Amino acid sequence: MSRLLHSSWSLAVLCPLTAALGCGSPELPEAPTALVERGPLERIVVATGTVEPAVEVEVRPRIPGILERILVEAGESVEGGQVLVEIEKDLLQAQVREAEAALQAAAVEQRYAAIELRRVQELERTGATSQKKLDDARSRFEQAQANRARAEASLDTLKTQLGYASVVAPMAGRVLEVHEEEGSAVSPVTSVTGDTLLLTLAGTEALRLEGLVDENEVVRVALGQPARIRTEAFGDRVFKGRVSEIAPMGERIQNVTYFEVEITITDDDARLLRPRMSGDGEIVAETIEDALSVPETALRYEGAEVYVEVRNGEGFGRRSVKVGVVDRDRVQLLEGVQEGEEVRLQ
């Protein structure tokens, strides 16, 4: 009798505790399902990298000196021929004035040598002077001509160098980086000890994504294939592009070989992008217009076999399948299912 009362009391206590879960054997929720659908799929090869300018120029000085003024900042857009940097020019200006004075003196010397030559030539025709004096006068005139030409060349050189004191943009673009500060001493590109890098410019007329593709995928990539560029800065916004270059030789990174692929950005809004932005290029390597597909979560694996569970009456039956193109979260099935069949998802 006491044992029966104890059992009854136990049930009375346990049932309220399990009421929230349901007394007896609770039913598990049914797994989600999806239909086998027919439609277009794309084989996508992803190139991960950065947005780079098609043209990048390093601006260096052509003359030595002290950096007097920097007229631009990083990120600023510039026009071709715009002055970017000015190098101190006081010494060059003084040298130009000195060369101009030397040229004037050489011109005077040439003029008087010409007058003397004409006088000696006249005397020689009348027999009043010797051939040697005529030769001496001609020599002095030719020397004066050479001195004037040398002075002109020296002046031209100094004027050219003076022009180089104003460093101008070789093209329209954007300043990527300013490498020096005002007051710094700079060396020219002709210096044997090394020149000075002043600025780095990027052409903004054409941008490209330089990305890496795994060696197993690069065989599917071809020149001219369309691509969609996505960047971290613009989230889900897509920029159009096209494959323009594929590296003929790969590079080994952490025991994996990658090939560099360049995608020229052809989108009208490409100007919104900036060099060095991180991005992915989704290259459309193949498009299948009429593919049977299921969500990737429908696939199950057992050893080398790939199968799905297809609804069969009140339950599901196992069916082996052959996988084709993978397009994000959907997978093409080449055989094993028919359009409209219901498959169970994981």
Residues 275 and 293 grouped into a single domain: no
Q: Give DSSP secondary structure letters for 84-101.
A: EEEE--HHHHHHHHHHHH
For residues 258 and 215, the answer to whether their CB atoms sit within 8 Å is yes
Check residue 11 and give its pLDDT.
Answer: 38
**Domain membership of residue 93 as a residue range:** 89-163
CA distances in angstroms from 206 to 209, 270, 271, 275, 333, listed in the order given:
11, 8, 9, 11, 40
Boundary residue ending a domain (203, 220, 252):
203
pTM for this structure?
Answer: 0.64
Domain for residue 1, yes or no? Answer: no
Q: In what order do the strands lie in the sheet with 83-87?
A: 166-168, 83-87, 65-70, 185-186
Domain for residue 129, yes or no? Answer: yes
Q: Average pLDDT for residues 68-85, to the nearest whole number?
A: 94
Domain at 262, CATH number: 2.40.30.170
Domain count, the chain: 4
Rg (CA), the chain: 41
Residues 144 and 71 grouped into a single domain: no
Q: What angle do CA 123, 125, 130 make, to 5 degrees?
A: 60
Residues 307 and 182 grouped into a single domain: no
Residues 195 and 62 grouped into a single domain: yes
Residues 84 and 171 grouped into a single domain: yes
Domain at 117, CATH number: 1.10.287
Q: What percent of the chain has pLDDT over 70?
A: 91
Residues 198 and 179 grouped into a single domain: yes
Residues 159 and 270 grouped into a single domain: no
* Spatial separation of the C-alpha atoms in residues 118 and 124, rounded to whole Å: 10
Domain for residue 186, yes or no? Answer: yes
CA distances in angstroms from 41 to 59, 300, 333, listed in the order given:
47, 21, 11
Check residue 27 and give its pLDDT.
Answer: 54
* Spatial separation of the C-alpha atoms in residues 56 and 203, rounded to whole Å: 6
* Spatial separation of the C-alpha atoms in residues 320 and 300, rounded to whole Å: 9
Residues 96 and 140 grouped into a single domain: yes
Residue 24 has pLDDT above 60, yes or no: no
